[in-house]
A and B are shown apart, each in its own frame.
Chain A
């Protein structure tokens, strides 16, 4: 265990203890931080590591949310199980999308368009399915119990979100150090070269998109049982797709801690500035501020804030030996 690990354990310990001292509202901010960090990390698996830009990740959030809620409402299935059903369904959809994209070599903007199209089509289809609440959406029953994934206070949600974030971090770390991760990075750096060197790019792209979709969908189930309201526009819409990629971009794409760092910066920024400018007369200032900061980061720190944090933390990171 080196000093970096020690720092991480320390941060985790502090985060675990926060519910003892913070109000429900402040915990709510942290829940949103963890939630968006988790989603950003899930997106990072595909886009950060293989370089295929997805602008339709809301699709998987929506599938996760709707599937788990549908199974709970109609078959009494606990969302704890339903969330994995949603994850599997999202993976299947992602594999279809991935097949079309990777099999036919859609890259760059063409792949982006494909992801947007899938999300938008699903949004329109769900908007017209009566059992899924069509365009009025689904209003969940509030029946607090562990089995129902519903709680009165914010503390259980806080720990669930924290756990999800930490697990996503662990999952991405495992991918990163595995053969899969190396291949994914090779694809990101130069897909043709990777293929020439014998990497089965189609296979590893498909694995990446399936994992990414699966993870994202679990987040959807969390959202559903935290907000209690599903609407096709807010769950499959472009707005959410963009919202969830901002954090990894600001934090640093294709890095382990980038999405988390991004979320720890952007989420409180939007919450605190909204609260600060809500006093009247300055409506919308928080959005302007949010936009300006995002632009500045993209302009002046194109590789994400993580690069600078790494420099500060340099003394903590052990020297790498050999050709690792």
Chain B
């Protein structure tokens, strides 16, 4: 009797080891997921997001990652994936460091961690490395942002793109240019194309010039001016522009040289009907609009753009503003869209099997998104047939945020009124 009580109450070294060992095992197996079958918690579906969150594109990459994340949060907050019993989505995170081989390795890690779909990666080079991996591992890959046409030209089965292609971007520029000039009944005859002599500038202007030549539009490019990225003075270039007597300028520039170009055009009093960017960052950035004020008015740019009126944008923007203090911009909005498209495909697939997800992605018809464009549908190459650019024009408004307005396509326009030809820079 007495003996029994002692053994029950006390704990000698051996029993302690046994107990703690068992407990340890339990903890270990829980962490390593051994008894996952026993856990009745709702299923989670992993989506791998690869963005350049460190390196030269870190700011954009972090915005894109947040865009992916907020879309997932939105779906989860609204009950997850209903067709799979309210399964929650989980974004597993990868960092490409802007390097193709790192992007590939990260994508492989996320697949290894159980990601059933991949989203990302902002850069075309990284996209190509991941596209081949997706094909090798047979995991669907939805590109939120990546423009180079070549990525989808291989006919890979597992690769989809929400963003517009580079070819689509240039085609949009010509279409809008035609609409604007025809609506105004004014046809500029002489044009100057300016571009930065970096890969982006050269590629963009090369594609634009080629398409413009084949378009039959009554405009002749009388001068093409290239200058290095990061240039501090454009007085000589603008003197050449002035001497060429253009009616219109097609600039392909960044924010720094856009400012210098515009100031110099004003200083040298170059007569122009207007400025039309075929796909040029810079001319719509908030800082540019603020600093250039009247000089920035009436310039037009063709660009993949947000659709601020859409409920999806307003939802996404509110969440984005709360999380980062910034507005949802084109890149993060496309990242938001990419993750929404995946969630939509999973909902219709009702399964996490690659075959089912692929089938469901191919049948995508998704209109509730925050960017300018039609319903997202993928063609046999995986490109989004609904992808569109917008033409934005800077128009006078006391509120800086309201100056950048979508003028085309009509369905998305924030202003009915396209001002072209524009008053001269010094007459404003």
Q: Which of A28, A136, A140, A279 contacts B203 (CB 8 A)?
A: A136
Could you tell me if B124 and A136 are in contact, using CB atoms closer than 8 angstroms?
Answer: yes
Q: Which of A24, A153, A234, A283 contacts B95 (CB 8 A)?
A: A283
Complex Cα–Cα for A274 and B99 (A): 13
Least CB distance from B103 to A in Å reads 9
Least CB distance from B147 to A in Å reads 10
Least CB distance from B279 to A in Å reads 15
For A268-312 the 0/1 string (1 means CB < 8 A from B) is 000100110011100110010000000000000000000000000
For A206-241 the 0/1 string (1 means CB < 8 A from B) is 000000000000000001000111010010000100
Closest to B124 in A: A136
| Segment 14-29 of A: residues with Cβ below 8 Å from B | 23-26, 28-29
Complex Cα–Cα for A154 and B62 (A): 30
Which B residues are CB-close (under 8 A) to A32?
101, 105
Least CB distance from A136 to B in Å reads 6
Could you tell me if A234 and B112 are in contact, using CB atoms closer than 8 angstroms?
Answer: no
Q: Which of A134, A135, A283 contacts B58 (CB 8 A)?
A: A283
Closest to B94 in A: A278
Closest to B166 in A: A136
Which A residues are CB-close (under 8 A) to B199?
127, 134-136
| Segment 171-208 of B: residues with Cβ below 8 Å from A | 199, 202-203
Chain B contact surface mostly? helix
Complex Cα–Cα for A7 and B151 (A): 46
Could you tell me if B58 and A274 are in contact, using CB atoms closer than 8 angstroms?
Answer: no
Least CB distance from A83 to B in Å reads 18
Interface status of B129 (Cβ within 8 A of chain A): yes
Interface status of B347 (Cβ within 8 A of chain A): no
Least CB distance from A11 to B in Å reads 23
| Segment 150-177 of A: residues with Cβ below 8 Å from B | 152-154
Could you tell me if B150 and A139 are in contact, using CB atoms closer than 8 angstroms?
Answer: yes
For B27-67 the 0/1 string (1 means CB < 8 A from A) is 00000000000000000000000000110001000100000
Interface status of B300 (Cβ within 8 A of chain A): no
Q: What is the total number of residues of chain A having a CB less than 8 Å from a CB of chain B?
A: 36
For B318-349 the 0/1 string (1 means CB < 8 A from A) is 00000000000000000000000000000000
Which B residues are CB-close (under 8 A) to A229?
100, 125, 128-129, 132
Closest to A228 in B: B132
Least CB distance from B53 to A in Å reads 4
Which A residues are CB-close (under 8 A) to B156?
142
Which A residues are CB-close (under 8 A) to B104?
28, 227
Complex Cα–Cα for A70 and B389 (A): 35
For B298-319 the 0/1 string (1 means CB < 8 A from A) is 0000000000000000000000
Interface status of A189 (Cβ within 8 A of chain B): no
Could you tell me if B100 and A234 are in contact, using CB atoms closer than 8 angstroms?
Answer: yes
Interface status of A141 (Cβ within 8 A of chain B): yes
Could you tell me if A29 and B125 are in contact, using CB atoms closer than 8 angstroms?
Answer: no
Could you tell me if B100 and A142 are in contact, using CB atoms closer than 8 angstroms?
Answer: no
A-B contact count (CB 8 A): 90
Given A24-B137, A142-B154, A283-B53, A227 contacting B129 (CB threshold 8 A):
yes
Q: What is the total number of residues of chain B having a CB less than 8 Å from a CB of chain A?
A: 36
Given A142-B156, A229-B125, A287 contacting B54 (CB threshold 8 A):
yes
Closest to A35 in B: B101
Least CB distance from A25 to B in Å reads 4
Could you tell me if B100 and A231 are in contact, using CB atoms closer than 8 angstroms?
Answer: yes
Complex Cα–Cα for A36 and B278 (A): 42
Given A29-B105, A234-B99, A283-B53, A142 contacting B132 (CB threshold 8 A):
yes
Which B residues are CB-close (under 8 A) to A231?
100, 125
Complex Cα–Cα for A261 and B395 (A): 62
Which A residues are CB-close (under 8 A) to B132?
140, 142, 227-229
Q: Which of A24, A26, A283 contacts B62 (CB 8 A)?
A: A283
Could you tell me if A136 and B150 are in contact, using CB atoms closer than 8 angstroms?
Answer: yes
Closest to B104 in A: A227
Could you tell me if A23 and B112 are in contact, using CB atoms closer than 8 angstroms?
Answer: yes
Interface status of A137 (Cβ within 8 A of chain B): yes
Least CB distance from B361 to A in Å reads 19
Could you tell me if A24 and B108 are in contact, using CB atoms closer than 8 angstroms?
Answer: yes
Complex Cα–Cα for A24 and B114 (A): 12
Complex Cα–Cα for A96 and B333 (A): 51
Closest to B111 in A: A25
Interface status of B254 (Cβ within 8 A of chain A): no
| Segment 58-93 of A: residues with Cβ below 8 Å from B | none
Could you tell me if A228 and B128 are in contact, using CB atoms closer than 8 angstroms?
Answer: yes
Which B residues are CB-close (under 8 A) to A271?
105, 109
Given A137-B125, A139-B128, A223-B101, A25 contacting B109 (CB threshold 8 A):
yes
Which B residues are CB-close (under 8 A) to A279?
93
Chain A interface residues toward B at CB < 8 A: 23-26, 28-29, 32, 127, 134-137, 139-142, 144, 152-154, 223, 227-229, 231, 234, 239, 271, 274-275, 278-280, 283-284, 287
Q: A25-B105, A28-B108 are in contact. List 16 more A-B contacts (CB 8 A).
A: A24-B137, A25-B112, A29-B105, A136-B124, A139-B153, A153-B136, A227-B129, A229-B125, A234-B99, A234-B101, A271-B105, A271-B109, A274-B95, A278-B94, A278-B106, A283-B58
CB-defined A-B contacts under 8 Å, sample of 29 = A24-B112, A25-B109, A25-B111, A25-B112, A26-B112, A28-B105, A127-B199, A135-B199, A139-B151, A139-B153, A139-B154, A140-B132, A142-B135, A142-B136, A142-B154, A142-B156, A227-B100, A228-B132, A229-B125, A229-B129, A231-B100, A231-B125, A234-B101, A239-B99, A274-B95, A274-B106, A283-B58, A283-B95, A287-B97
Nearest 3 Cβ contacts at the A-B interface = A135-B199, A25-B112, A228-B132
